[in-house]
Amino acid sequence: MQQANWHSNRSGKSRVILLVEDHDLYREVVRAALGRYLPDYEMLEADCVAAALPVLHARSIDVLIIDMTLPDGSAIDLLDQCGYFIQQGVKVIVLSSHSSADMLPVLSRGDVHGFVSKEQGLKTLAESITAICSKEAHASDESQEMTLEQAV
């Protein structure tokens, strides 16, 4: 069943995560954990490639977390279909129970910014999200500094 869930942005959260995970219980656990670890992020969910694509079109997403194996495809299939959004700055983390050695074809892609094994735990996932977003903010600050220096 295709399903996308949008959790309200009652607190004016600044960043948005789209979690694409087909296992309902695990998706709930991830949502709860990331809500604790990353309270300033809004969480959106989809259970398959087909449900994720409309969310990407409808909302501005900062971080896309994709389970490697989905009922209607894979993380690669979703990445192949959402190239425009990645070009617009969406950061991608692949989440999988596969080993990193098995994931080399995916991890070597330029549009994948991180990999977290499900065995590493959700705190590691939260840290990866924070690191990716911090790098983006730092790069944006450096770009603004260069522009100011060029203007002077």
pLDDT tens digits, residue range 44-92?
999 999 999 999 999 999 999 999 999 999 898 999 988 878 878 899 9
34 has pLDDT over 60: yes
**Cα 146 versus chain centre, distance:** 28
pLDDT for the residue numbered 5? 56
pLDDT for the residue numbered 106? 79
pLDDT for the residue numbered 10? 45
Range(s) of the domain holding residue 42 = 4-151
Task: Report the phi/psi class of residue 2: left, alpha or beta, with left for phi > 0 and alpha for psi in -120 to 50.
Answer: beta
Look at the pTM and tell me if it is higher than 0.95: no
Q: Which residues pair with 134 in a beta bridge?
A: none
Assign residue 40 the CATH number of its domain: 3.40.50.2300
The 10 Å Cβ neighbour count of residue 66 is 27
Q: Which residues pair with 114 in a beta bridge?
A: 93
Beta carbons of 65 and 19 less than 8 angstroms apart: yes
* Domain count along the chain: 1
9 has pLDDT over 80: no
Higher pLDDT, 147 or 87: 87
Range with the lowest mean pLDDT among 5-9, 71-75, 92-96? 5-9
